[in-house]
Amino acid sequence: MDGKTWSTWSEGVSFGLENGMAVIPYALLKYYRKLNLSGSEAMLLIHLLSFRQVEGIEFPSLEELQVVTGRSISVLAGELQKLMKEGFISIDGDNDELRDIHYERYNFSGLYGKLGAYLATAVQENEQDKDKGAYATSAPRAAASGGGFGTPPISPSSLGDKEESRNLFSIFEKEFGRPLSPMECETISSWVDQDRYPEELILLALKESVFAGKVHFRYIDRILLEWARNRVKNAQDVKTYTQKFRNGGR
Does position 45 have pLDDT exceeding 90, yes or no? Answer: yes
pLDDT score of 168: 81
pLDDT score of 150: 35
| pLDDT tens digits, 82-129 | 999 999 999 888 776 676 777 788 999 999 999 888 888 877 777 666
Cβ neighbours of residue 73 under 8 Å, at least 6 residues apart?
62, 63, 66
Domain ranges of the chain: 3-107
Does the predicted model carry a pTM greater than 0.95? Answer: no
For range 51-66, the mean pLDDT? 91
DSSP calls for 183-244: HHHHHHHHHHHTS---HHHHHHHHHHHHHHT--SHHHHHHHHHHHHHTT--SHHHHHHHHHH
CA–CA distance, 200 with 208 (Å, rounded to integer)? 12
Pick 212 or 48 by higher pLDDT: 48
Does position 161 have pLDDT exceeding 60, yes or no? Answer: no
CA 56 to chain centre: 30
- Find out whether 199 and 188 touch, Cβ atoms under 8 Å: no
pLDDT score of 131: 57
Q: What confidence tier does 178 reach under pLDDT thresholds 50, 70, 90? A: confident
Pick 5 or 208 by higher pLDDT: 208
| pLDDT tens digits, 11-41 | 654 555 566 788 888 889 898 999 999 999 9
pLDDT score of 137: 46
pLDDT score of 147: 40
Does position 153 have pLDDT exceeding 90, yes or no? Answer: no
**CATH class for the region spanning 3-107:** mainly alpha
Q: What confidence tier does 66 reach under pLDDT thresholds 50, 70, 90? A: very high
